[in-house]
Amino acid sequence: MGGSPVRGIKGSRRIPETQSVERRSSQRIRRRAECTIRRGRESHEGTILDISEGGLAAICELPLEQGSVMTIEFSGLRRPLEVKAVVWHCRAVRYRGVESFAHGFMLDHAPPDYQRLLSSSQRPSGPQKAPAAETPKPEPEPASASEQEHLEDLRSELGEALKESRKASPEPAFRVRAKQRNRPRTKTLSLTAADEEGVREAVRASLGDEWEILEVIPAA
């Protein structure tokens, strides 16, 4: 999957694929939880797979545009928890027998409740076995100065995108019916965009050429 333009960044700069793959340096903690991923009136049900200080991984049935700023609401916790995150990468997977899409998200800011969730997920429960001896692993090569500078530039620009998204006025909502070419499968999507042409471009970018748009209807 190639890089996609980041909304809110001047010049629609693309995130290179080589920089977008699994760059979280903080420890990942396996934490399964149902969630809702939304942007404006667009909403998707999903499952969180793991969390870390810098981001999280989640699966849902539709691909999300790389660079999009999403709100992720955790379900099934004692206290409500939601975070703002940027879609860092997306790949097609098969999850529980269903064709789905795994996404990596980068957090702009981890709220206190998210930090508490990290701490509680790391806390051991019950008697602990002595850890087995591990084979020493080679230390990863440090990133070059140019790579570090590029990552800092991306983080700064993504932070600006988050600020712009909070200021932006809500876009009109549309319902879209699409059909997979040469197959009877159809989908109904709820999206927000400036106009109908923007909706069509978003659907084509998300679903690809295998799907054709049957109709675009403004939401009531």
Query: Among 28, 5, 102, which residue's Cα sits nearest to residue 62?
Result: 102
Over residues 98-111, the mean pLDDT reads 89
Beta 69-74 vs 173-180: how paired, if at all? unpaired
Answer yes or no: are the C-beta atoms of 16 and 169 closer than 8 Å.
Answer: no
Question: 91, 66 in Cβ contact below 8 A?
Answer: no
pTM of the model: 0.47
pLDDT, mean over the chain: 78
pLDDT at 71 > cutoff 90: yes
Rounded-to-integer distance, Cα 101 and Cα 207, Å = 11
Which tens digit of pLDDT belongs to each residue from 138-162? 666 666 777 777 777 777 777 776 6
**Domains of the chain by start residue, with CATH:** 17-122 (2.40.10.220), 173-218 (3.10.20)
Range in 104-108, 118-122, 162-166, 197-201 with the lowest mean pLDDT: 162-166
pLDDT at 127: 58
Q: Residue 169 above 70 pLDDT?
A: no
Q: Measured between alpha carbons, how far is 50 from 145 in angstroms, rounded to an integer? A: 29
